[in-house]
Amino acid sequence: MKLSLFLRYLASLFLGGLLLLGTQVAGARELAAEPEDMVEVEIATVGVAGFGGPPVVLLREPGTQDVIPIFIGPNEAAAILHGLGGERSRRPMTHELLGDVLSGIEVTLERIYVDAIVDHTFLGMLELRVEGWDEPVRIDSRPSDAIALALYAGASIHVAPQVLEAARQIEYEGLDDQVVAALGITVTPADDDLREALSLPDREGVLVSDTRGPAAEAGMEPGALILEVNGEVPTTPMQFLELVRDTARGEDARLRYWQEGEEHEIELSTDVPPPRAVPRERLEEPGIQA
């Protein structure tokens, strides 16, 4: 009991310091756009700017054919790819640690914003909800850190219109054999080993590794093979994303997929599905890690 009380005391001290810092930092920079004017987006995947340039996270803007690239660092790129695959690192990375701390002291990361671009630098902000507080606490952040934290914590991501317009000018390319998410469906290449292990049919398509939101509610499960999107065959994860993007404005995306020996068809809205936190289980690691 004494240990439990001591840990709660430490948590309260940390929370007090965090809120004080948050209030000070939030006061130093206000949001550059109104929250209601921003567009909610979905993390699609990670790519690179130009040919062999710095990494970018690709954000799918619903209702358009646009994917918005935001510059990030190599560590954040790796973290986002792991998160899209439903994995956590063997030892907590900084954003995972912060997410676990917030959860432990009952502070919720509800939203993150990418609200401005100044001198070719993207600006971001965290929006925290504290139990018993009427107003949220907003803390200035690098967008790369904020997006990685949002993925693991299950927070929504919102981008200002001026940022969307500026980011559209950035040229990017996808990575080979990457993990891609759209419509709440995460897909990977269906290589020969996976086809054999999962007894997949000898047909072109991409393998479903995770589902959430309406796709999961409709019955699609990990291990399914997506055969068509809007009548076209996705042969790579990036092509899956492109076919989803090509869905006509105001229409649902039509998917045909194979699952457990049967073919199914579903229609899904191109709206951003509800966010979901990455499971807290970590990859197994033999030996001792610092």
What's the pLDDT score for residue 6? Answer: 47
pLDDT per position as a tens digit, 183-220: 999 999 988 888 889 899 999 999 999 999 999 999 99
**Residue 142: C-alpha distances to residues 46, 122, 236 (Å):** 17, 7, 31
What's the pLDDT score for residue 284? Answer: 45
Percent of the chain exceeding pLDDT 70 equals: 80
Give the least confident one: 2-6, 119-123, 237-241, 250-254.
2-6
Mean pLDDT across the stretch 90-100? 68
Q: Would the CATH topology of 39-169 be identical to that of 180-266? A: no
What is the 3-state secondary structure of 103-143? HHCCEEEEEEEEEEEECCEEEEEEEEEECCCCCCEEEEECH
Q: 41, 62 in Cβ contact below 8 A?
A: yes
Whose tokens are 């290589």? That residue is 191
pLDDT per position as a tens digit, 121-137: 899 999 998 888 888 89
| Three-state DSSP class for residue 207 | strand
Average pLDDT, rounded, for the chain: 82
What's the pLDDT score for residue 228? Answer: 96
Instruction: Label residue 87 exposed, middle or buried (CB < 10 Å: 0-12, 13-18, 19+).
Output: middle
Architecture of the domain delimited by 39-169: Roll (3.10)
What's the pLDDT score for residue 167? Answer: 87
Rg (CA), the chain: 20
**What pTM does this model have?**
0.80
Q: Where are the domains of the chain?
A: 39-169, 180-266
What's the pLDDT score for residue 181? Answer: 92
pLDDT: is 119 or 104 the higher one? 119
pLDDT per position as a tens digit, 218-241: 999 999 999 999 999 999 999 999
What's the pLDDT score for residue 249? Answer: 85
Confidence of residue 21 (pLDDT cuts 50, 70, 90): low
What's the pLDDT score for residue 1? Answer: 43
User: Could you tell me where the beta strands, DSSP code E, fall in the chain?
Assistant: 39-49, 55-60, 67-71, 107-118, 121-130, 137-141, 156-159, 172-174, 180-182, 185-189, 206-211, 225-229, 253-259, 262-268
Mean pLDDT across the stretch 145-162? 91
CB atoms within 10 A of CB 283: 10
Residue 48, token pair as written in the block? 């690179």
Amino acid 42 reads E
Fold of 180-266: Pdz3 Domain (2.30.42)
Q: Indicate if the pLDDT at residue 50 is higher than 50.
A: yes
Burial 5-38 (b: 16+ CB within 10 A, else e): eeeeeeeeeebeebbeebeebbeeeebbbeeeeb
pLDDT: is 41 or 86 the higher one? 41
